[in-house]
A and B are shown apart, each in its own frame.
Chain A
Amino acid sequence: MKRQKNQSILPFIAAFATILVTGCGSTSLASSEGPIVLSEEERTFNILHNWDKVGMKNHLNAGTNVGPLAWFSVESLIQYVRSTDEVYYILAESVEHHSNSTSTVTLREDATWHDGSDYVADDMIAYYIVNQGQVTNYMTSLEKIDDKTVLINWKPQMEPNERVKTLLLAVDRAGAVQYDEFKTFVDEANRILTSSPQAPSGYTGWAPFGRIASQSNINDYMANYTAFKNYNPDWFVGTGPFKLSRKTETEMLLVKNEDYWAADSIKFDFIKATNSMNDLNQKYNMLSSGAIDYQDGLAPEATMNQILLNNPKMAHYKMFDPGAIGVVFNLAKKMQVNGVAQPIWTDKVREAFQYIFDREEVKNAGNPYAITSWRPLMTMAPSEAQKYMSPDKYAEIETFTHDEQTAANLLVEAGWNKADGWWYNGGTKVKLNIHYDGSHPGMSGAAVAVQAALTSFGIEAILKKGADFNSWFGTASSDAWAHELSICWTDLNMSFSFPTGSFIYAYKDITAKVLHLPRFTEDDPSTTVIETNGFDLTLDKADGSGTFRVIDVLDGMYYLNDDDLTEVVNDLVLGVSKKNYGIQFYQNVTGSFINIGKLGGVPLQDYLETSRNVTYVPNFEDDPDNFYAVARLNFHFAYAVPFISGDLYPARLDD
């Protein structure tokens, strides 16, 4: 019996042994290329990313998340680095802008698809025809000159300036649609497009390639687009420096594209990605244990120090994030004052609030590496405002110190009074709800500091946490549910740094909705159809010559020359800053964890010798080389540029 029992345990022992033997197997390979023989591990760049576990399709435009393939396999004509606007010519060898509203794009002779075929003019045109993105609204047509040359004809009435043209071309991933693979959909999109009537001369509304589609054409286009995105090619359609090799639900392996035009510059042979569920715990543990070599973003200070302590090869760099975090007031919110509902955020109250906070403390609670701002909401981060405004006008933006006495005096002038240590307005105790995106560590930290400051000042403050950006914004922009104030991005540029990005975020997408600015209505006789539902905001001009409507300048900024652009940015930023619609606490700084034991060529070596937590944030004015080099360390900003340019390579090559 005993013997039988022992035998029954054997399969379990065997299974366990199999698990260990199979799982712990080594996968070391050696390369014979070059004088230094690197192991497979040394030639593998390990990252955390996320992609769709079920149903991921083999092209970028399918609507599925393709994870690291979007960074390393799909390319643009030109790649810009977010936050610095540094541009790299990728699929395009050059883009020449001419005075007759045309530009010539010359494609790289040796640019190829991952299936081996050449990347040609038909492919570039196919991308724009089938996707009809923002840039096509500024074009009248694309002409194929030869296989490697395309002529862009711009709309004369909406011709962007040269810098914007380049940046607009950089936004689109023109290397995502191979004409031969998607011929059916591209031809159908072209048929629908050419059957749509030409827009009237001078028309500035939405009209890709100068065509205004009928409802029937829009329906046909949508049906074709749906079929296009549902199509699943046999290979992942890309041109980038790394190709898809293998994929499971949780791991993806990319291998170097040996036919790539800059293959010699690329020294890594593999990119191994782990699919993350955005689980912070997983992220921090993988950084600590050295399971990944890179991760963008910050970590709470204690966590970051622990990661750097656990992993002596890990370093953290900081770079500007083109956004600022602060408070936005809900201008529509009212409270009972002597029995009558009155707006809370009067001019005096908004001004008083600028003085209540020690912004340095709020910044330290939100992001200790960030740069404190003493200015009100400007709709533009300080680094961007400095870049696009004239120095004298930037200096005119009022700064506010931490001065509780001045704040109290202003509140008294506004009709508030303090009794028993608490502030009252017309007999009603002031109680403010602070709403914030709880998934953002910086905003969460800042919210707690703001609550503490308000309570200490004598204003009852209650924290209201949104689960994520989406749920925060859903409430913050709602007429019925929005709270008195929000901790959020007061100023942010999601796209390239041209100033329109910040103003679109402020006046079209997010900030104006959280501010609850009044909107134009159809009843207003001065309102045009396009303006209906836009935000009705008039600001003072920076030179004191009068006022202007924000809506009148927003859409024309792409066409302005540098001098006119500076003037408009001066007007917009200085004008809104005078309104004190919010408080700018700090210009955000983001970062990148980099395994410096794996990646050679990293900048700021002197700083690394002092501390692997590099707190120095280079800026353009004082240290332009490092400003660009550090921003490129963020793959989220620069995609494959650090590898294509040869900036980063296996560290042992330095030996």
Chain B
Amino acid sequence: MKKIGKVFTRFWAILREIGYRYRYMWQRLGLALVTLFFTTIISFFLVRNIPGDVILSYAQELAIQRGITIEEAMRLAVQILNYDPEANIFVQFFEYLGGLLRGNLGSSMYVLDVTVVRVIRQTLPWTLFVASIALILSFLIGTWLGTRLAWRRKGAEEIAVSSYIVVSNSIPDYLFGLLLLYVFAYTYPIFPTNGNYDIMTDPGINLPFIGSVLYHAALPILALVFTQVGNWALMMKGSAVGVLGEDYINAAKARGIPDRIIVKKYLKKNAMLPLITSLAISFAYLFGGSTLMETIFNYPGIGQQFASYIGRLDYPMIQGILFFISSVVIFVNLIADSIYSLVDPRVRRDA
């Protein structure tokens, strides 16, 4: 009995130790859950207050599609939609919350078997594909440019790159997307105007399909890269300038180590560290904010699908996707915070 007591005391001490040592992370986790909860409440009631009558909206769509009167279309709409406009909003909220706890993010008012999970499964890979390639390319190019700017702070190269940064930061990404589309798809039809792959290719691991996917993604990726590179270059420059003042850089120079090695091994690696956490956060925001770019290129990612559900006032789908995107942003922020605390013990201690 005494032994059991001892084991229990020891176990409790370990738990307390873990709790104390990682108290910063527990706090962040708690905060993340609270944020998610309030996000869910706010998004539910915001979505329900989007102006417009969903039955009338659908009836109008049916009337136009089928050439029938609004009256007949209203009758059909009530029959077809899985939505009761008279239901109490608080009852609907608790049903929604119950669904979330059971892992059910919701299903479309128009077609029951179109669930949020199905939409995410079908559209998210396309968004991730474009967003991740764009992010990696812009990160690599941006950090490379930022390092060069920090290392050589005078000359034509700095003027050229700085000008580019100013221009790319001033032009909204959607405007650049439109410009690319106009020049390279409509005026000079080098790239396709829309879509994710050619209809005549068979999806799968085959060269025509892979080539078609890359071909269709080229313009959206280019638009995102162009507008992201400037930010990364600016952040990298700031970070690298700070590193340049460190003693170990001066020591390396004094030891006669070639510039190329100093830049690569001493400067770039150390300056890039703080940017790694930003990379995670940018990734979350990039696919959360992909709606406009996907709409411009008619690219069937989650952002475009989200926009179409807003247009049709498909409340469960809007809520579900909003909840998913919010969760990802909050989760990625939590990971970034955790990385900070692991990398820098002062953050843990301050907590």
Chain A interface (Cβ within 8 Å of chain B)?
15, 18-24, 27, 52-55, 57, 62-65, 70, 80, 82, 133-134, 171, 173, 222, 225-226, 229-230, 246-253, 272, 274-279, 281-282, 285-286, 288-289, 291, 466-471, 473-475, 494-496, 500-501, 504-505, 508-510, 636
Contacts and interface: CB of A to CB of B under 8 A. Distances in A.
A504 B52 contact: no
Given A54-B114, A474-B53, A469 B211 contact: no
The winner among A24, A80, A474, A495 for most chain B CB atoms within 10 A is A495
A274 B214 CA distance: 19
Nearest to A53: B300
B63 A494 contact: yes
B91 interface: no
A420 to B, nearest CB: 37
Contacts of B112: 226, 230
Contact of B218 (A19, A53, A473, A509): A19
A495 B300 contact: no
Contacts of B196: 248-250
Contacts of B111: 52, 55, 57, 62-64, 229-230
Interface in B199-239: 199-200, 207-208, 210-212, 214-216, 218
B198 to A, nearest CB: 8
B194 interface: yes
Given A63-B110, A494-B63, A504 B70 contact: yes
A470 B52 CA distance: 5
B123 A82 contact: no
A63 B181 CA distance: 33
B79 to A, nearest CB: 6
B256 to A, nearest CB: 20
B168 interface: no
B295 A63 contact: no
A275 B66 CA distance: 19
Nearest to A636: B64
Contacts of A276: 298
B53 A246 contact: no
Contacts of B61: 65
B66 A229 contact: no
A307 to B, nearest CB: 11
Contacts of B191: 23
Interface string B29-65: 0000000000000000000000111001100110111
B232 to A, nearest CB: 19
Interface string B294-316: 01101010001101100101000
A248 B197 contact: yes
A246 B200 contact: yes
A54 B68 contact: no
The 6 nearest A-B residue pairs measured at CB = A22-B211, A23-B215, A55-B114, A250-B195, A470-B52, A249-B300
A299 to B, nearest CB: 15
Contacts of A510: 70
A494 B307 CA distance: 27
B128 interface: no
Contacts of A173: 66
Contacts of B190: 20, 24
Interface string B152-190: 000000000000000000000000001001100111011
The winner among A23, A24, A500, A510 for most chain B CB atoms within 10 A is A23
Interface residues of B, number: 72
B246 interface: no
B194 A282 contact: yes
Contact of B199 (A19, A62, A253): A253
A226 B199 CA distance: 32
Given A19-B211, A494-B67, 9 more contacts: A15-B214, A55-B114, A63-B80, A65-B61, A250-B196, A250-B298, A285-B186, A286-B193, A470-B60
A605 B52 CA distance: 44
Contacts of B194: 250, 274-275, 282
A517 B313 CA distance: 28
A252 B300 CA distance: 14
Nearest to A81: B67
Nearest to A510: B70
A18 B186 contact: no
A252 B195 CA distance: 11
Nearest to A281: B178
Nearest to A468: B52
Contacts of A82: 67
Nearest to A131: B76
Nearest to A500: B69
Contact of B214 (A19, A64, A134): A19
Contacts of B56: 470, 473-474
Contact of B79 (A64, A222, A494): A222
B10 interface: no
B52 A471 contact: yes
Contact of A509 (B64, B70, B198, B295): B70
Interface string B95-139: 000000000000010111110001100110000000000000000
